[in-house]
Amino acid sequence: MPAVSKGDGMRGLAVFISDIRNCKSKEAEIKRINKELANIRSKFKGDKALDGYSKKKYVCKLLFIFLLGHDIDFGHMEAVNLLSSNKYTEKQIGYLFISVLVNSNSELIRLINNAIKNDLASRNPTFMCLALHCIANVGSREMAEAFASEVPRVLVAGDTMDSVKQSAALCLLRLYKTSPDLVPMGEWTSRVVHLLNDQHMGVVTAAVSLITCLCKKNPDDFKTCVSLAVSRLSRIVSSASTDLQDYTYYFVPAPWLSVKLLRLLQCYPPPEDAAVKGRLVECLETILNKAQEPPKSKKVQHSNAKNAILFEAISLIIHYDSEPNLLVRACNQLGQFLQHRETNLRYLALESMCTLASSEFSHEAVKTHIETVINALKTERDVSVRQRAADLLYAMCDRTNAKQIVSEMLSYLETADYSIREEIVLKVAILAEKYAVDYSWYVDTILNLIRIAGDYVSEEVWYRVIQIVINRDDVQGYAAKTVFEALQAPACHENMVKVGGYILGEFGNLIAGDPRSSPLVQFNLLHSKFHLCSVATRALLLSTYIKFINLFPETKGTIQEVLRSDSQIRNADVELQQRAVEYLKLSSIASTDVLVRAGGTGGRRLPPGPRAGTGWLRGAGNGARGLSPPGGAGSHLAPGRGLAGWAGWGMGHRPDPSTPSPSADLLGLRAAPPAGSAAPTTAGNLLVDVFSDNTSATSGLAPSTEDNFLSLPVMQPGSCQPQMLGLYIGSEGHRQGLAHLFSPPPPRGRFVCKNNGVLFENQLLQIGVKSEFRQNLGRMYLFYGNKTSVQFQSFTPIVTYPAGAQLNIQTKAVEPLVEGGAQVQQVLNIECLSDFTLAPLLNIKFRYGGTLQNITLKLPVTLNKFFQATEMLSQDFFQRWKQLSQPQQEAQKIFKANHPMDSEVTKAKLLGFGCALLDKVDPNPDNYVGAGIIQTKSLQVGCLLRLEPNAQAQMYRLTLRTSREPVSRHLCGLLAEQF
């Protein structure tokens, strides 16, 4: 492009722009641009110095190219040069380029700042304004550092022109927003407040913006602005439509300034001064009155400007929330807008009414518009307006209209835009729970939600319905019936299958009496959906099946058949395969009794109190913190708290992290415990706990085949094993708090050979134990120490001994208040009635700082505590040994030493275990032989034991012979763990 002579204006630029516009393709445009860039580059690099005009033109071209969306990496220097030109247009283009293209390039910033400084000092108002604009446009921290103290000076200087004052005020505002710390407060602040009285409306307009921002951080410094703003507002509101000349906009006096003043007032509470307040109320009334007057113009600009002020006034009225009269008037006004032909007004009225609905003064007034709002939800053509209508319905919902609103929302959901379905689903779920009077309505609503918009029903929602059903037995039968019916649909949503699987697994028995929903029908119905479901759902269904085997023994054959099929037991998915294998095994080896506990129905079937759940929670505690059965979360959400957690959702917040989230992994599928040193024992412990709590048949010491089964988790620490068991006992787990999840599980069997020590300790509580036993009686002292400085309230330790009555434990309740730092004592009197394997449980509940803590422990009462040592001679020993030679009388374990094989320690342990150590009985002096009698009220069991260490192999062989098979096995297991 040939150089253009000076007088030609920017024709070169115009030509270039039209060239670009004539380009037929993107490629052509890029080509043209590259040509131009090359040209400009050569001009800038050329030997000949460019004059200001050419620089301006090329810089302007670069700017154009940049605005087309291309990157510009040169020309900054030339632009900076233009800043120091004394020709206005060159300077202006320079500043424009800088404000559009410079973010913070430190090299240039210094040069730019220099130019700005010169212009600020020039006393030429046009140049000063350019400089201020540039500062505001760039608005970087460097700019703030350089000018934050200079700009306030310009703003309040007596001789500053009005136009410069306006720019300075807004420039300062921008700097304050970027770097509030750099803007020094000082005596200028009071002068700024008085700009509200300025003659020049433009200055006032700019100043209000600045003050509104400053007063938020320093409300006291700017307090005087309230009365000034009120009097200014009052003057504007009462002025005739022509008084303000150029500041009247379509017959509305100073709408922008009015809106800004009303905003400023929203930074403060209602004025205390009665006169000021009276004047303000008068203003607000006038604004409300004006809304009723006939329009002065038919132009939309007139009504928009007028209504802009009205909406801002209503915002202020809502902000004060103290003038019932004004609130109701505002509500009526908005009610009129709800049916206005302008979409914009309907939108804003719906939005504004949402906030009115939360004021006690106007809530009822808002409710009167329910039909209009429902109609809006149905008929508005614009989804954003419909969304406002849904918001308003949600906001105005209370107990009186909940059913209507929920049913309208549900029917809207059938046709709702995809973009807002999830939100509507959440709203419906929250309202249904919050205002449920009878829970069958709640269940219906949620199942309808799943039916209509299953994809949008989040896990939280369907977990929640299960929690509620589990916690409310009055609705369980209804839920089972309803979900059974819902599953009849040929195509039902997977979420429905999940809910169905869970609810039928737990409560299917409640409808099993009806031949139309007999156990097999239920099973076949669920299984017909099985193959279409995802892995997670199929895993859930498998668990349902094992529950079915327990609930309905008649289904056992069919279900075992299913579990045994290749598609289950050889499923490619590890989780499914493992479940199938284990459930199959469980169903074939375990007695009904085991299944009752393990099958997850325990929570309902058994008397309240922690049992199976304990072992799991404590055992899996370290590894699987996020793991929580559905009820597990729900239970501490006492109904009230649950709602509080939920209310947050509607606002788009997540539930408070400190509240156990209802979304905690229901199935525990996701939370694999980290493999760690504790994992194997933990997992093993878990299984032992689950099983040993039941019958001796599958106690933790089970030999032979069961060994494999039980040791599975040990072989696979970190597998999903613990979670799976969590599932078996899921519904019982919900009675547990999670507090003890955070304390490490005590090493198993610590108290088998000793009677005193610290039983439990976490950050809050320490429990010490001291005990003594004689014959079949024992006394145990428990010491509960409050480690915090805060009182524990409702402190209730309860001892439970669940299955059977082999132990008789008596105690007194302790004081419900435990002061910070204090210790309380509890005495247990224990009587052993017969031989037993289960340890009694100690459950401690208390409130600490408002949260319920719930801890469950095993009491260190084991069968060996009732040992009475018996001395005997070698020949007596061998004679008795031979008498007890039937296979079931003997229990034997061969195991690896877990501790150094020290004979003194071993002896101490054996003595601690309770038997007598017999010297010179065994021909091998390294072996230990012991004898004793287990004393119970109903019977005495003679015990002989022999421990053979093999130091070389670091192994032991332990043999127990007693007259009772369970006792042999139990004692053998207990003792084997001690070495």
> Which residue numbers belong to the known binding site?
11-12, 43, 53, 57-61
Among 31, 35, 123, 177, binds other proteins (CB under 8 A): 177
- Provide the minimum distance between the beta carbon of 450 and other proteins in the complex, in angstroms, as a whole number: 22
Quote the CA–CA distance of 236 and 92 in Å, as a whole number.
Answer: 36
Determine which residue in the list 51, 382, 514, 871 makes contact with other proteins, applying CB under 8 A.
382
Q: How far is the CB of 565 from other proteins (least distance, A)?
A: 45
Which residues between 635 and 674 bind other proteins (CB under 8 A)?
650-652
Q: Which residues in 317-356 contact other proteins (CB under 8 A)? A: 318-319, 321, 343-344, 346-348, 351, 354-355
Helices (H), 157-267: 162-178, 188-194, 201-217, 225-238, 255-265
Residue 521 to residue 833: CA distance in whole angstroms: 46
Residues 440-499 that bind other proteins (CB under 8 A): none
Residues from 193 through 212 that contact other proteins (CB under 8 A): 201-202, 205-206, 209, 212
551: its two tokens? 């609930």
Give SS3 for 727: helix
Output 101 or 551, the one with its CB closest to other proteins: 101
Site for other proteins (CB under 8 A): which residue of 190, 339, 358, 794? 358
Where b means 16+ CB within 10 Å and e means fewer, 191-226 reads: ebbebbebeebbbbbbbbbbbbbbbeeeeeebeebb
* Minimum CB–partner distance for residue 267 and other proteins (Å): 5
Of residues 7 through 66, those in contact with other proteins by CB under 8 A are: 7, 9-11, 14-15, 17-18, 21, 53, 60, 63-64
Crossing angle between the packed helical segments 125-138 and 106-120, to the nearest 10 degrees:
150
- β-pairing, 807-811 with 765-774? unpaired
User: Taking Cα atoms as reference points, which of 706, 852, 880, 836 lies closest to residue 793?
Assistant: 852
Please state the closest distance from residue 643 (CB atom) to other proteins, in A. 13
Give the helix ranges, DSSP H, for 435-534. Answer: 439-453, 459-471, 476-486, 494-507, 519-530
Count H helices, E strands: the chain?
A: 44, 16
DSSP lists the bridge partners of residue 893 as 958
Whichever of 71 and 187 has its CB closer to other proteins, that residue is 71
| CB-CB neighbours of 715 under 10 Å | 11
Of 165 and 748, which CB lies nearer to other proteins in the complex structure? Answer: 165
Among 32, 43, 263, 527, binds other proteins (CB under 8 A): 263
Binding segment for other proteins (CB under 8 A), chosen from 244-252, 332-340, 562-570, 699-707, is: 244-252
Q: Is 595 in the site for other proteins (CB under 8 A)?
A: no
**Per CB under 8 A, 769 contacts other proteins:** no
Q: Per rule CB under 8 A, is residue 214 in the interface with other proteins?
A: no
Q: Which helix (H) or strand (E) holds 585?
A: helix 574-589
Q: How far is the CB of 86 from other proteins (least distance, A)?
A: 10
Neighbours of 970 (CB within 10 A): 27
CB 454 within 8 A of CB 493: yes
Stretch near other proteins under the rule CB under 8 A, chosen from 235-243, 260-268, 781-789, 871-879: 260-268
| Interface with other proteins (CB under 8 A), residue from 40, 154, 259, 480 | 259
Q: Considering the rule CB under 8 A, would residue 251 count as an interface residue with other proteins? A: no
Nearer to other proteins, 396 or 541 (CB): 396
- Work out how close the CB of 510 gets to other proteins at its nearest, in angstroms, rounded to a whole number: 36
Q: Is 546 helix (H, G, I), strand (E, B) or coil?
A: helix
Could you say which of 30, 38, 383, 873 contacts other proteins (CB under 8 A)?
383
- Binders in 125-144 for other proteins, by CB under 8 A: 126, 129, 132-133, 136-137, 139-140
Class of residue 170 by CB neighbours under 10 A (exposed 0-12, middle 13-18, buried 19+): buried
Q: Which residues pair with 797 in a beta bridge?
A: 844
Q: Does 432 help bind other proteins (rule: CB under 8 A)?
A: no
345: tokens are 């007004």
- The answer for residues whose C-beta is within 8 angstroms of residue 799's C-beta and 6 or more apart is 809, 811, 828, 840, 841, 842, 843, 859
Which residue of 420, 468, 725, 859 would you call a contact of other proteins, by CB under 8 A?
420
Report H helices in 487-555: 494-507, 519-530, 535-551
Beta carbon nearer to other proteins, 260 or 464: 260
CA distance 769 to 8: 101
Closest CA to 77 of 66, 257, 269, 101: 101
Q: Taking the complex as a whole, how short is the minimal distance between the CB of residue 492 and other proteins, in angstroms?
A: 27
In the region spanning residues 139 to 168, those forming contacts with other proteins, defined by CB under 8 A, are 139-140, 163, 166-167
**Could you say which of 381, 516, 812, 896 contacts other proteins (CB under 8 A)?**
381
Please identify which residue in 55, 174, 597, 909 interacts with other proteins, judged by CB under 8 A. Answer: 174
- The continuous run of DSSP H or E covering 673 comes out as none
Residue 343 or 903 having the CB closest to other proteins? 343
**What CA–CA distance (Å, rounded) separates 971 from 898?**
18
Q: Which element (helix H / strand E) includes 628?
A: none
CB of 147 to other proteins, least distance (A): 13
Judged by beta carbon, residue 9 or residue 804, the one nearer other proteins is 9
Q: How far apart are the first and last CA of the chain?
A: 95
List the one residue out of 813, 809, 849 whose CA is nearest residue 829: 809
Closest CB to other proteins among residues 259, 753? 259
| Of 147, 222, 394, 530, the one binding other proteins by CB under 8 A | 394
Min dist CB 68 to other proteins, Å, is 8
Judged by CB under 8 A, the chain residues 77 through 136 that form the site for other proteins are 87-89, 92-93, 96, 100, 103, 126, 129, 132-133, 136
DSSP per-residue codes, 333-396: HHHHHTT-S-HHHHHHHHHHHHHHTTSTTTHHHHHTTHHHHHHHHHH-SSHHHHHHHHHHHHHH
Query: Residue 302, Cα to own-chain centre: how many angstroms?
Result: 47
Determine which residue in the list 114, 266, 755, 791 makes contact with other proteins, applying CB under 8 A: 266
- Identify which of residues 174 and 538 has a Cβ nearer to other proteins in the complex: 174
Helix (H) or strand (E) holding 427: helix 418-434
Rounded to the nearest whole angstrom, what is the least distance from the CB of residue 592 to other proteins in the complex?
50
Q: Which is nearer to other proteins, 99 or 231 (CB)?
A: 99
Q: What is the DSSP letter of 851?
A: E
Whichever of 348 and 539 has its CB closer to other proteins, that residue is 348
Choose, by CB under 8 A, the member of 80, 267, 679, 724 that binds other proteins.
Answer: 267
Collapsed DSSP state (helix, strand, coil) of residue 868: strand
Q: What is the contact mask toward other proteins in residues 284 to 323, using x (rule: CB under 8 A)?
A: -----------------x--xx-xx--xx--xx-xx-x--
Q: How far is the CB of 577 from other proteins (least distance, A)?
A: 40
Residue among 417, 656, 707, 919 that touches other proteins (CB under 8 A):
417
Of 827, 832, 822, 809, nearest in space to 764 by CA: 822
Question: Is 89 or 892 the residue whose CB approaches other proteins more closely?
Answer: 89
Nearer to other proteins, 175 or 483 (CB): 175
Taking phi over 0 as left and psi of -120 to 50 as alpha, with beta for the rest, 849 belongs to left
Pairing of strands 248-249, 252-253: antiparallel
Alpha-carbon radius of gyration of the chain: 41
Nearer to other proteins, 67 or 951 (CB): 67
Task: Pick the binder of other proteins from 395, 457, 782, 857 (CB under 8 A).
Answer: 395
The neighbouring-strand residues paired with 848 are 792, 851
Of 373 and 546, which has the nearer Cβ to other proteins? 373
Site for other proteins in 912-951 (CB under 8 A): none
How big is the site for other proteins, counted in residues (CB under 8 A)?
Answer: 101
Residue 20 Cα distances to 17, 31, 44, 62, angstroms = 5, 10, 22, 13
